[in-house]
């Protein structure tokens, strides 16, 4: 026997039983985000590597070690998308969407690729549900984004949710603060982990993320960006918080919040779930006012979020999603009735019913058992001269003309 081939490490198959729960998440997104004026967008699975190098930030974990980068036949360097924001900003610029009424709002449900250590809640191909609102700096947009995400997590049933919130200020504030933090880190260099020490120049903010005990001790006394915000940024942040307070959304202010993407400015947030283990991050996002300009577009303020589908489902637990109900199962009593039965099922679907026909040549008894397994509401048994329609709930049955099966089911479905 030939050796069996397995799915690559860090990937998984979505089997039909799992698909129902994912469909429910997608439907919630369509309802909640679509209803708020967000339109669906899909971008290519791979992009020019340069997009992520510039858009995500050269110093980030994603760009430094997690990208699937390859050269295509024409010698171009391409990368499987590791996140959704940079591609959507690229599309916004490419299609001249700054000419549309602002903000332009998008949502997506796509898979992303990162070369990471595969474990529970961490995959190499994973799915995210996200949204971006591009073209407005108004704090209303930040608050709306956060509230829509909270509503989504609630609709999906994510348990024990916690929201952490901070503001990074603008790029200028951050640059000044960065120097202050770098000077502070250098003064305590001997107590820091090697990784943090090596990153003082490149990404000093990540020091707040470290698990290393010495580093953590040093960081307890570190200056905080939240205390250094310009008046304008502080006002913007206060406005966002006031809107969340009015909406009764609970959050913790966390001045040490950092996220693994370089493009954030001002509002920054992360939703975690205590129902998850080590990989507790369910969703995150923030404002990224400088990104579009960095990608060669006009200076454009924007805000967005991304939520991990696998972690949302894990944190939602095993609450069952109803299987697709079957309105009509079409059985046949004789070989000669196979074709008429097939035709009735097809017609029924065109009439809007969920209808299936026997496909495995079972005995009539076996067909009825199969209809029962599927939970079919009605069964039509087609014979050589006529049909019998059985109501599976009441057990009642009557002989009918084959042409009457669909109208009868439609009428009774409606009156139920």
Q: Which stretch binds ligand ATP (CB under 6 A): 70-78, 165-173, 296-304, 308-316?
A: 308-316
Q: Binding to ligand ATP by residue 262, rule CB under 6 A?
A: no
Q: What is the DSSP string of 336-365?
A: GGHHHHHHHHHHHHHTT--EEE--S---HH
Q: Which stretch binds ligand ATP (CB under 6 A): 13-21, 292-300, 304-312, 337-345?
A: 304-312
Q: Binding to ligand ATP by residue 259, rule CB under 6 A?
A: yes
Report d(CA 411, CA 10) in Å as an integer.
49
Report d(CA 151, CA 47) in Å as an integer.
31
Report d(CA 361, CA 380) in Å as an integer.
16
Q: Which is nearer to ligand ATP, 255 or 386 (CB)?
A: 255
Report d(CA 351, CA 11) in Å as an integer.
39
Q: Binding to ligand ATP by residue 283, rule CB under 6 A?
A: yes
Q: Binding to ligand ATP by residue 343, rule CB under 6 A?
A: no
Q: Binding to ligand ATP by residue 260, rule CB under 6 A?
A: yes
Question: How many residues contact ligand ATP, by CB under 6 A?
Answer: 19
Q: Binding to ligand ATP by residue 308, rule CB under 6 A?
A: yes
Report d(CA 84, CA 87) in Å as an integer.
6
Q: Binding to ligand ATP by residue 310, rule CB under 6 A?
A: yes
Contact 143, 285 (CB under 8 A): no
Q: Which stretch binds ligand ATP (CB under 6 A): 133-141, 149-157, 192-200, 278-286?
A: 278-286
Contact 41, 30 (CB under 8 A): no
Closest approach, Cβ 291 to ligand ATP, in A, equals: 14
Binding residues among 87-116 for ligand ATP as defined by CB under 6 A: 114, 116
Q: Binding to ligand ATP by residue 83, rule CB under 6 A?
A: yes
Of positions 79, 128, 170, 267, contacts ligand ATP by CB under 6 A: 128
Q: What is the DSSP string of 52-113?
A: HHHHT-TTSHIIIII--EEE-TTS-EEEE-S-SHHHHHHHHHHTTGGGSSSPEEEEEEEEEE
Q: Which stretch binds ligand ATP (CB under 6 A): 97-105, 123-131, 155-163, 398-406?
A: 123-131
Closest approach, Cβ 108 to ligand ATP, in A, equals: 12
Q: Which stretch binds ligand ATP (CB under 6 A): 121-129, 196-204, 234-242, 337-345?
A: 121-129
Q: Which stretch binds ligand ATP (CB under 6 A): 242-250, 282-290, 373-381, 382-390?
A: 282-290
Q: Binding to ligand ATP by residue 377, rule CB under 6 A?
A: no
Contact 285, 305 (CB under 8 A): yes
Closest approach, Cβ 128 to ligand ATP, in A, equals: 5
Neighbouring-strand partners of residue 268: 166, 286
Closest CA to 22 of 161, 123, 156: 156
Contact 22, 313 (CB under 8 A): yes
Residue number of the CB closest to ligand ATP reads 308
Q: Binding to ligand ATP by residue 59, rule CB under 6 A?
A: no
Closest approach, Cβ 281 to ligand ATP, in A, equals: 4
Closest CA to 270 of 208, 198, 345: 208
Of positions 135, 284, 301, 383, contacts ligand ATP by CB under 6 A: 284
Q: What do you get for the CA distance between the two ends of the chain, in Å?
A: 55
Q: Which is nearer to ligand ATP, 128 or 267 (CB)?
A: 128
Q: Binding to ligand ATP by residue 79, rule CB under 6 A?
A: no
Q: Which is nearer to ligand ATP, 87 or 121 (CB)?
A: 121
Contact 323, 24 (CB under 8 A): no
Contact 282, 158 (CB under 8 A): yes
Of positions 311, 390, 392, 405, contacts ligand ATP by CB under 6 A: 311
Q: Which is nearer to ligand ATP, 55 or 121 (CB)?
A: 121
Closest approach, Cβ 217 to ligand ATP, in A, equals: 22
Q: What is the DSSP string of 236-303?
A: HHHHHHHHHHHTT---EE-TT---S-TT--SEEEEEEETTSSS--EEEEEEE-TTHHHHTTS----EE
Going from the C-alpha of 283 to that of each of 129, 259, 280, the distances in angstroms are 9, 11, 9
**Site residues for ligand ATP per CB under 6 A:** 83, 114, 116, 121-123, 126, 128, 259-260, 279, 281-284, 306, 308, 310-311
């Amino acid at each position: 026997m030939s050796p069996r081939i397995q799915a690559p490490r860090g990937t998984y198959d979505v089997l039909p039983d799992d698909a129902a729960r994912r469909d429910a998440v997608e439907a919630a997104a369509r309802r909640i985000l679509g209803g708020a004026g967000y339109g669906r967008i899909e971008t290519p699975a791979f992009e020019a590597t340069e997009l992520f190098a510039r858009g995500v930030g050269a110093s980030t974990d994603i760009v430094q070690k997690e990208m699937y980068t390859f050269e295509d036949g024409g010698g171009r360097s391409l990368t499987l998308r590791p996140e959704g924001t940079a591609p959507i900003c690229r599309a916004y610029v490419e299609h001249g969407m700054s000419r549309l009424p602002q903000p332009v709002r998008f949502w997506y449900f796509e898979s992303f690729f990162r070369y990471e250590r595969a474990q529970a809640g961490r995959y190499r191909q994973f799915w995210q549900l996200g949204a971006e609102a591009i073209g407005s700096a108004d704090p209303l947009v930040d608050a709306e984004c956060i509230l829509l995400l909270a509503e989504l997590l609630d609709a999906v049933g994510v348990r024990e949710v916690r929201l952490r919130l901070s503001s990074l200020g603008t790029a200028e504030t951050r640059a000044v603060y960065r120097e202050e933090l770098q000077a502070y880190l250098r003064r305590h260099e001997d107590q820091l982990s090697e990784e943090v020490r090596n990153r003082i120049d490149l990404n000093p903010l990540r020091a707040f993320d470290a698990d290393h005990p010495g580093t953590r001790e040093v960081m307890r006394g570190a200056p905080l960006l939240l205390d250094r915000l310009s008046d304008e940024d502080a006002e913007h942040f206060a406005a966002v918080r006031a809107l969340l307070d009015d909406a009764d959304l609970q959050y913790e202010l966390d001045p040490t919040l950092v996220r693994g993407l370089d493009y954030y400015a001002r509002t920054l947030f992360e939703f975690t779930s205590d129902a998850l283990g080590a990989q507790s991050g369910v969703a995150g996002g923030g404002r990224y006012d400088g990104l579009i300009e960095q990608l060669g577009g006009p200076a454009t303020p924007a805000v967005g979020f991304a939520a991990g589908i696998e972690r949302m489902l894990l944190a939602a637990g095993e609450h069952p999603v109803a299987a697709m109900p079957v309105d009509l199962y079409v059985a046949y009593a004789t070989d000669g009735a196979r074709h008429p039965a097939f035709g009735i099922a097809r017609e029924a679907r065109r009439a809007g019913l969920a209808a299936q026909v026997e496909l495995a040549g079972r005995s009539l008894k076996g067909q009825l058992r199969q209809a029962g397994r599927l939970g079919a509401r009605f069964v039509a048994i087609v014979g050589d001269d006529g049909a019998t329609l059985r109501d599976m709930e009441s057990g009642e049955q009557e002989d009918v003309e084959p042409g009457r099966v669909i109208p009868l089911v439609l009428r009774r479905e409606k009156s139920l």
